[in-house]
C-alpha cells in the first residue's frame, strides 16, 4: 500500500448537529470527546506492585516499521542480500553493535535496553498497529481493518478509565500527526470500546513550524478569569434553553465535558507545555530543527506538565515503510533525525532528573524482511526490535536473540501482548484489570506477561 500524507484530523473531533457543541469545541480548539473525564477510582483489585517505577511513558512510534537489521539487530556476517548496504558501529556497551547511521544512540547504549526478540504473526500495517498500540489483537481482524469502537483501548485510554484524573491534565496525548490515509484510519489510536470520552488528545500540528501554537488550550490575550466566568454563565443560559439536548445522553456528557474544558483553561497546567518557543535555542537545536526532534521535545514538556502517556509518531503514516529505496531513505531522511532526537530526549530527561520516572519506548509495528527485495525490504512480523529506557529499565543490555539471518527469535519471543502488559505494569495498572466492553460485559484488559528482564537484567 503506497504511503502518503495523512489527512489532518482530530481523533475526537465532533460532527454532531448541535451548534452549541460545535461552538464550545471551537472555543477549546479541541474535540470535546478528547478531553479527560472523571471516573470511579481504580479499585484495589486493579492495582499491582510494579516492576518499573514510571510516572509517565513516551512511546516513540515508528509508524510503517523500520528494518531491525539496518538498525538495532545488524547481521554483519550474513550474505549481502541479508546484511544490506550498511556497516555496523560499536556502542558504549562492549559487544553491542548497531547500524552505522545511529552514532548518537550508539554513544548512549548504556541508557537503554534493546529487545531483539519481539514477534507476532501479522504483516498488515493496520492490524499490527492495533496490536502494538493496545497490547491486544484487533477484534475480527482482517487485512486493512480500520479503526472502530469495537477495538481495544490505547494504553492512555485504559489508564484514564482505571485511574482517571480531574486536575485538568489529560492521561494521554498523541502527536504530531493522526495516522490516517484516505479512507483508512489506523486502529489503536483511540479508546475503542471504552468510548470517545476516554480518547487521548490528538494533536495534528508540526511543532517545528514557526507558527506552532495551541492557543485553544490557554486563555486568549486580554481575557480575565472573571470574563471567562461570564462566558461560562452565558453558555449555561444557552444550555437551559436546550432542554431537549440536556435530556439526551450525549447532552449529559457534553455538560461534563464543559466543566472539564473550563478546568483545563483555568488550571493552566498543560497549556504552557505547548509554548515550545520558550525553550532555549541550544536545547531546541540539540533535539534538531525538524518534526522528529521538536515532537520529542514537546513530548518531554508534556510529561513534565503531568501527562501520563505521550505517543510521538515519528513521521507521517507508514513513513518507515521502506519497500523501495530502503537504504537511501534510512540514510538520508529517517535515521539521522531519529538518532538526534531520541538521543537528545534521553540526555534531557537524565539532566532534568526525569529519566528514572519516564519510560521511553521506541518501536514499530513489526520488522522488515531479512532478504532484500529490489532496493527495499518488505513487511516482517516474526522478528523485530524494541528499545526501552528509563522508568527503572536496566540499560546497557540486549534482551533476546534472533537467528543469523534476523528472521526468527532463537530465544523466547515477546509479543505485543507482553509489551502491553509491560506498559501497563510500568504505569501501575494491573494488566489483569477488568474493563467493560460496549455491552457492559467484564473482560480482562491484557493477557500478556510483563517483560521483567528489562528490569532485572536477566536475558530473556
Listing DSSP states for 215-254 in one string gives GGGSPPTT--HHHHHHHHHHHHHHHHH-HHHHHSHHHHHH
CA angle 97, 102, 104 (to 5 degrees): 105
pLDDT tens profile 42-95? 444 454 456 778 999 999 999 999 999 999 999 999 999 999 999 999 999 999
100-114, 122-136, 167-181, 265-279: segment of lowest average pLDDT: 265-279
- Higher pLDDT among residues 254 and 114, named by residue: 114
Mean pLDDT value of segment 263-278:
81
Residue 209, class by beta-carbon neighbours within 10 Å (0-12 exposed, 13-18 middle, 19+ buried)? exposed
Model pLDDT, residue 432: 96
pLDDT tens profile 306-358? 999 999 999 888 899 999 899 999 999 999 999 999 999 999 999 999 999 99
Cα gap 424→355, rounded to integer Å: 18
- Higher pLDDT among residues 107 and 211, named by residue: 107
Tell me yes or no: is domain 22-218+268-456 CATH 3.40.720.10: yes
Assign 39 a pLDDT band (cuts: 50, 70, 90).
very low
Cα gap 37→379, rounded to integer Å: 38
Model pLDDT, residue 27: 35
Q: Is the pLDDT of residue 269 over 50?
A: yes
Total count of residues recorded for the chain = 460
Cα gap 197→190, rounded to integer Å: 10
Model pLDDT, residue 346: 98
Q: Is the pLDDT of residue 437 over 70?
A: yes
Q: Find how far residue 343's CA is from the centre of its chain.
A: 18
Model pLDDT, residue 41: 39
Number of neighbouring beta carbons within 10 Å of residue 229: 12
pLDDT tens profile 353-407? 999 999 999 999 999 999 999 999 999 999 999 999 999 999 999 999 999 999 9
Mean pLDDT value of segment 247-276:
66
Q: Find residue 359's DSSP bridge partners.
A: 57
State the pTM of this model. Answer: 0.85
For the chain, the average pLDDT equals: 85
Model pLDDT, residue 387: 98
115-124, 226-235, 266-275: segment of lowest average pLDDT: 226-235
| pLDDT above 70: percentage of residues in the chain | 77
Q: Which residues contact 155 (CB under 8 A, 6 or more apart)?
A: 57, 59, 133, 134, 135, 172, 309, 420, 423, 424, 427
Q: Find how far residue 41's CA is from the centre of its chain.
A: 24
Q: Which three cell numbers stand for residue 33?
A: 470527546
Q: Is the pLDDT of residue 245 over 80?
A: no
Model pLDDT, residue 325: 92
Cα gap 98→398, rounded to integer Å: 11
Assign 287 a pLDDT band (cuts: 50, 70, 90).
very high
Q: Using only C-alpha atoms, what is the Rg of the chain?
A: 22
Cα gap 227→265, rounded to integer Å: 13
- Which 3 state secondary structure label does DSSP give 434? strand
Cα gap 137→151, rounded to integer Å: 9
Model pLDDT, residue 32: 38
193-197, 331-335, 456-460: segment of lowest average pLDDT: 456-460
Cα gap 312→319, rounded to integer Å: 13
pLDDT tens profile 406-432? 999 999 999 999 999 999 999 999 999
Model pLDDT, residue 5: 37
Q: Find how far residue 233's CA is from the centre of its chain.
A: 37
Amino acid at each position: 500500500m503506497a504511503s502518503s500524507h495523512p489527512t489532518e484530523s482530530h481523533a475526537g473531533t465532533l460532527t454532531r448537529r448541535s451548534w452549541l457543541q460545535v461552538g464550545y469545541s471551537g472555543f477549546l480548539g479541541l474535540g470535546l470527546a478528547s478531553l479527560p473525564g472523571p471516573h470511579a477510582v481504580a479499585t484495589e483489585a486493579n492495582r499491582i506492585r510494579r516492576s518499573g517505577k514510571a510516572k509517565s511513558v513516551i512511546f516513540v512510534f515508528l509508524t510503517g516499521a523500520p528494518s531491525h537489521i539496518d538498525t538495532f539487530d545488524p547481521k554483519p556476517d550474513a550474505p549481502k542480500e541479508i546484511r544490506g548496504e550498511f556497516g555496523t558501529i560499536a556502542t558504549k556497551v562492549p559487544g553491542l553493535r548497531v547500524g552505522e547511521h545511529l552514532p548518537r544512540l550508539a554513544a548512549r547504549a548504556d541508557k537503554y535496553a534493546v529487545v531483539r526478540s519481539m514477534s507476532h504473526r501479522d504483516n498488515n500495517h493496520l492490524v499490527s498497529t492495533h496490536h502494538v498500540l493496545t497490547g491486544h489483537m484487533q477484534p475480527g481482524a482482517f487485512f486493512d481493518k480500520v479503526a472502530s469502537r469495537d477495538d481495544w483501548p490505547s494504553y492512555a485510554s485504559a489508564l484514564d478509565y482505571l485511574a482517571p484524573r480531574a486536575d485538568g491534565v489529560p492521561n494521554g496525548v498523541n502527536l504530531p500527526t493522526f495516522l490516517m490515509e484516505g479512507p483508512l484510519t489506523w486502529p489503536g489510536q483511540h479508546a475503542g470500546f471504552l468510548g470517545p470520552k476516554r480518547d487521548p488528545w490528538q494533536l495534528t500540528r508540526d511543532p517545528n513550524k514557526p507558527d506552532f501554537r495551541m492557543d485553544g488550550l490557554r486563555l486568549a490575550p486580554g481575557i480575565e478569569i472573571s470574563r471567562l466566568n461570564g462566558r461560562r454563565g452565558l453558555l449555561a443560559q444557552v444550555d437551559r434553553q436546550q432542554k431537549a439536548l440536556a435530556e439526551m445522553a450525549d447532552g449529559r456528557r457534553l455538560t461534563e465535558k464543559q466543566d472539564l474544558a473550563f478546568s483545563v483553561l483555568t488550571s493552566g497546567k498543560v497549556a504552557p507545555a505547548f509554548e515550545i518557543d520558550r525553550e532555549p535555542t541550544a536545547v531546541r537545536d540539540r533535539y534538531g530543527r525538524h518534526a522528529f526532534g521538536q515532537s520529542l521535545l514537546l513530548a518531554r514538556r508534556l510529561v513534565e506538565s503531568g501527562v501520563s502517556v505521550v505517543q510521538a509518531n515519528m513521521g507521517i503514516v507508514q513513513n518507515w515503510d521502506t519497500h523501495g529505496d530502503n537504504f537511501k531513505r534510512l540514510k538520508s531522511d529517517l535515521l539521522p533525525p531519529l538518532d538526534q532526537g531520541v538521543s537528545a530526549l534521553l540526555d534531557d530527561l537524565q539532566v532534568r532528573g526525569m529519566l528514572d520516572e519516564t519510560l521511553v519506548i521506541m518501536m514499530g509495528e513489526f520488522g522488515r524482511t531479512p532478504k532484500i527485495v529490489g532496493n527495499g525490504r518488505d513487511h516482517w512480523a516474526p522478528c523485530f526490535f524494541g528499545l526501552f529506557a528509563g522508568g527503572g529499565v536496566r540499560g546497557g543490555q540486549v534482551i533476546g536473540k534472533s537467528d543469523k539471518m534476523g528472521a526468527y527469535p532463537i530465544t523466547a519471543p515477546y509479543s505485543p501482548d507482553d509489551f502491553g502488559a509491560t506498559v501497563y505494569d510500568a504505569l501501575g495498572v494491573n494488566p489483569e484489570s477488568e474493563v467493560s466492553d460496549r455491552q457492559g460485559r467484564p473482560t480482562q484488559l491484557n493477557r500478556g506477561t510483563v517483560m521483567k528482564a528489562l528490569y532485572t537484567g536477566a536475558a530473556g
